[in-house]
Amino acid sequence: MNEPVKPVQGSAASEERLSSGVLGSVDITFMVLAVAAPMAIVVATMPLAFAFGNGVGVAGAYLLSGIAITLFALGYVKIIPLIRNAGAFYAIVSASFGKVAGLGSAYVALISYVGLCSATLGALSYFATDILHSLGMTSVHWGVVALVSIGALALLSWFRIDFTAKLLAIALGAEVLAILLLDFAIIVQEGFIAPSIVFAPAAVFGPGLGVAAIYAFNSVIGFEATAIYQEEARNPSITVPRATYAAIAIVSTFYIFTAYSFTVAEGTAVGAAAAEDPGHFVFGLASRYLGNWAEIAISALVVTSAFAAILGLFNNSSRYVYALARDRILPSSLARTRAVNGAPFAAGLPIIAILVVTVSSFALAGLDPLLSLTTALTGFGSVGLMLLLCVTSFAIPVFFLHHNARLTVQTALPILGGVMLAVGSGLSVLNYPLLTGTDSAFINSLPILLPIIFAAGAVQATWLKRNRPESYGRIGLSRPVV
């Protein structure tokens, strides 16, 4: 008879413990949605999906990505209570495919999050500097804006996580409200078009689906964060699954409805309209349907959206560092938390240092923050997390097979989601220049680093197994949630 799966418990010193019971479902949902950066997706990448993808069928591409991540989530919420670790994918892969694969995955996840954090910092600096220059402050360099933003990250990491969650809720609410206002203005003025046109198989699976799928599937990365924060959640067995489903439902519905509304605005010519000027496509719609004030407001909200995404990505990165340090893979000093509020401040310090070095290097080299920094690292981080999402989809049923010797429908469905995510990952790799927006051979070769990073983690794990078996045994260790 099969025995119920029980989490393997570990212990943690009090100075290495995160603050527990401070995040509710709403808090975690906002943390996840902030990383998704809906304003940035709608303004920067959705027009590209229209322009170079399947045009009228773009809303259907976002629907497919929503289905894939939902199939993944059905098994994900079942495994989360059984594998309790702030390094979510890292712990799941370790428990399913072994500690060697788990540590390799941990480094890929960490580097991917830090890469996306750096890339988004470049975008924020570009748009914030543009606004400052338009106000007459032409002497302000983007590098200064970036360093000030990094300073704000360091300051916020000193506080308890629920304070950060409240800030993200405000920023996220404003950007979602602005786009929804535009969506409804379009519907009110133009009416509806038949969903059978937008979601018709001929439209969705027509020429360009592969390109649209790249942007659609990249818009659903970051949902791992619901498990990343389970050690800090109130009643995690309830709040974490609830936040996972809520985040997926909200962001998927938001993207599908927004893509549908933009199609209503331009009709069957939406692809051609977006292709004329993808960078200003959404701003043009805002000006047309809401007035010039909306264009200005969205410009400002792009900056706050970018900072919210940076903050969420930074929090994810720091918790990976914390988890690896607590497992004694990285220096244990990085696992120390503030006694007063459990904030993993020490874990954020190396990330802050990496961001400062990266920004300073690009700035001193005279490079453009958007065309160089953002372009170089956005695709790199996105592909890394997509591949990990795919691997974890297959790791979930493997875990239950190892422990239960049988699968339920709920724990088997991630296999189907994994297949869909694998297709999306493959398309992203094969069409990588579309993600970066550049012909640079150097930038477009960056994904080669992902298997190298994975291999480095695997080599370290193998070395630990032979030389430090106690440390090897701690890789991916499940922790009690109190």
Q: Distances from the Cα of 271 to the Cαs of 61, 193, 266, 276, 429, in angstroms?
A: 14, 16, 8, 9, 23
Query: Could you tell me the two tokens for 192?
Result: 């509806």
Is residue 481 a part of any domain in this protein? no
Report pLDDT for 165: 66
Q: Where are the alpha helices (DSSP H) in 135-235?
A: 142-156, 161-190, 195-198, 201-204, 209-218, 225-228
Is residue 93 a part of any domain in this protein? yes
How many Cα atoms are found within 13 Å in the side-chain-facing hemisphere of 469? 1
Return the residue matching tokens 């927004």: 258
482 and 20 Cβ atoms separated by less than 8 Å: yes
CA-wise closest residue to 285 among 252, 261, 305, 269 = 261
Return the residue matching tokens 């990990």: 388
Give one DSSP letter per residue of 383-446, joined into a string: HHHHHHHHHHHHHHHHHHHHHHSS--HHHHHHHHHHHHHHHHHHHHHHTHHHHHT---HHHHTG
Give me the mean pLDDT over the 13-21 stretch. 57
Give me the mean pLDDT over the 198-225 stretch. 84
Report pLDDT for 13: 42
Task: Give the torsion sign (CA, 26, 32, 34, 38).
Answer: negative
Least confident span in 11-20, 27-36, 355-364, 366-375: 11-20
Give one DSSP letter per residue of 299-311, joined into a string: HHHHHHHHHHHHH
Is residue 86 a part of any domain in this protein? yes
Q: Where are the alpha helices (DSSP H) in 80-160?
A: 88-97, 99-134, 142-156
Tens digit of pLDDT for each residue in 91-121? 899 989 999 999 999 999 999 999 999 988 9
CB atoms under 10 Å from CB of 308, counted, come to 32
Report pLDDT for 17: 63
Report pLDDT for 12: 41
What are the phi and psi torsion angles at 476 (to 5°)? 70, 15
Position 63, amino acid: L
Is residue 343 a part of any domain in this protein? yes
Tens digit of pLDDT for each residue in 304-317? 888 888 888 898 89
Does residue 163 surpass a pLDDT of 90? no
Give one DSSP letter per residue of 243-273, joined into a string: HHHHHHHHHHHHHHHHHHHHHHHHGGGHHHH
Is residue 183 a part of any domain in this protein? yes
CA-wise closest residue to 431 among 182, 210, 202, 270 = 210
Query: Could you tell me the two tokens for 148?
Result: 């000030």
Q: Distances from the Cα of 204 to the Cαs of 50, 147, 177, 257, 261, in angstroms?
A: 12, 43, 27, 15, 16
CB atoms under 10 Å from CB of 136, counted, come to 7
**For position 134, which CATH number holds?**
1.20.1740.10
How many Cα atoms are found within 13 Å in the side-chain-facing hemisphere of 346? 20
Report percent pLDDT > 90 for the chain: 35
Is residue 435 a part of any domain in this protein? yes
Is residue 423 a part of any domain in this protein? yes
CB-based burial of residue 75 (10 Å sphere; 0-12 exposed, 13-18 middle, 19+ buried)?
buried
Is residue 3 a part of any domain in this protein? no
450 versus 225: the higher-pLDDT residue is: 450
Residue 191 structural domain: 23-474
Query: Could you tell me the two tokens for 329?
Result: 């893979």
In sequence order, the 6+-apart residues with CB closer than 8 A to the CB of 115 are 377, 380, 381, 384
- The total number of structural domains in the chain stands at 1
